[in-house]
Structure 1
Amino acid sequence: MLAALGRQLTGEERVDLAAVLPREAAEVFTAQVPAVEKLTGWSFVKDLAVRTGAPLAPTRWDTGTVFAVLARLAGPDLLARVLAQLPNGYALLFGQAQLTPPRAA
């Protein structure tokens, strides 16, 4: 999951999120080359399920569990910056309400 998220983030948000992770997790996260095309939250879960061979429902559950921990580690300011960089659908994965209209991906 961290590797997949590492493909979705760039710039300061990527560096700052890596800085709050344990060293081993940060290495997995930053070892990924950012993707050219960003995935929506739902597409992210589907892509992760395909890559791991896991069913969608458990993949969604597991993603939410890991991202909830990331949200706590990041804190509200960094999390807001990360969510601003990601396409529609990630807020719910991080346990946040998506209160603004989705922007074009």
Structure 2
Amino acid sequence: MPMITIADEVTGAPSGPEWTVEVFEESVRLDELIRRRTLLEIAESGADVDPEERTRVALEGFVRNRFVVLVDDRQVTALDDKVNLHAGSRITFLKLVPLVGG
């Protein structure tokens, strides 16, 4: 099975966490990628949180343009978009920081 990298980044800041995970399919919808990313964070933190609620918050954040998702440097713009994955794919969750005063 192919290994992919999932990374967090914030504009103008050092890179955040990064995970290497195995995938079992060649394509997956963006909302499912966001759900899996959320579950990785929950597992790593050991926090006792509701995964469904955290996923709902993450999906809402995407819809409200709080972050964008890049797959191999290509922006995915809709939750129902299919993302093609291959060995070495890099999925970047880029948190957007508003300009001061705007």
User: Is this a same-fold pair by TM over 0.5?
Assistant: no
Higher helix share: 1
Tell me the TM-score normalized by structure 2.
Answer: 0.42
Tell me the TM-score normalized by structure 1.
Answer: 0.41
State the structure with more CA Rg.
Answer: 2
Higher strand share: 2
Structure with bigger RCO (C-alpha 8 Å, 6+ apart): 2
